[in-house]
Structure 1
Amino acid sequence: MANIEEMMGRFFLFGKMYSVELREKSFDNWPFREDCNCTPEMMAKAGFVHCPSENEPDVVSCFFCLIELEGWEPADDPWFEHTKRSPSCEFLLMGKDFSDLTVAEFYRLELARVKIYVRKLIHRKMECLRDAIDVTLKDINSQQNSI
């Protein structure tokens, strides 16, 4: 799972990723190339951008809903996996190529993408706050027990 800084960077970078060609370019070091369902072309068409790390070379994220998926197998279908894990992703529901969108449709989609980002950012910050509260409570309890 991306940390807050990674998520912020991805959000701004992913604003350019409405283009399937740009998404496909992110799969330079993708481990699945031929004789499989999850080729770079298929991954990009399903809305994914490759976001590898040292420990997770097959992590992808949807440029729109920001869902992260990993642990890909050659038989995995990117469209099925995306729909299964993020059925309300507006990219999936768009039903047409980006180049066919009207300006009004694009702005509506971009507004939805911003809302998703803000919601996920707030949830992530709340998780950090909960973790900090838990640490503080443990410290208080250990200090009380030592008195």
Structure 2
Amino acid sequence: RVSPSLRLRGTRRPKMNSPRIPAMRDFKMRLRSFGEAWPHRATHFATPTLLAMSGFFHSPGGQHKDRCICYHCGVALVGWEEDDEPSTEHHLHSPNCPVIHGSPDELERFK
């Protein structure tokens, strides 16, 4: 299900040939981006680890303290609710992103 409050922010259909934000390809770097600033409790399903595994890094901006951006497709999502599952939301909002399809290059990053 798509949370009604989870919204796209300033994104368009990207070309999927190469990462839009190559500096964030590294899983550990994406995970570190959440630091202490992630605004949701530990009971929230969208944890920093699951978000980073789904290709997202934390990039808060203005009133959007929970904005996350996929390093590959560039989709930006805000308004995460307690039961939002990162890979499901990623697929719903950017169905062609290689990160969520587990391309060999993406899977190699988690070894």
Structure number with the higher strand fraction is: 2
The amino acid that maps onto 1:23 is: R
Q: Distance in 2 between matches of 1:32 and 1:82?
A: 18
The answer to whether the aligner puts 1:67 opposite 2:75 as a matched pair is yes
Matched, 1:98 2:109: yes
Give % identity.
31
**Cα pair distance change 1:34/1:65, threshold 3 Å:** same
Equivalent position of 1:49 in the other structure? 57
How far apart in 2 are the matches of 1:39 and 1:99?
17
Number of residues of Structure 1 aligned to a counterpart in Structure 2? 91
Higher relative contact order (CA 8 A, sep 6+): 2
Higher helix share: 1
Provide the TM-score with structure 1 as the length reference.
0.56
CA positional deviation for 1:33: 4.0
Q: Do the aligned residues in 2 keep the contact of 1:38 with 1:74 (CA within 8 Å)?
A: yes
Letter in 2 for 1:39: T
Higher Cα radius of gyration: 1
The amino acid that maps onto 2:69 is S
Distance 2:34 2:79 in 1: 15
Q: What RMSD, in angstroms, separates the aligned Cα atoms of the two structures?
A: 1.9
Please list every run of 5 or more consecutive structure 2 residues that lacks an aligned counterpart in the other structure: 1-8, 11-19
> How far apart, CA to CA, are the structure 1 residues paired with 2:81 and 2:66?
10
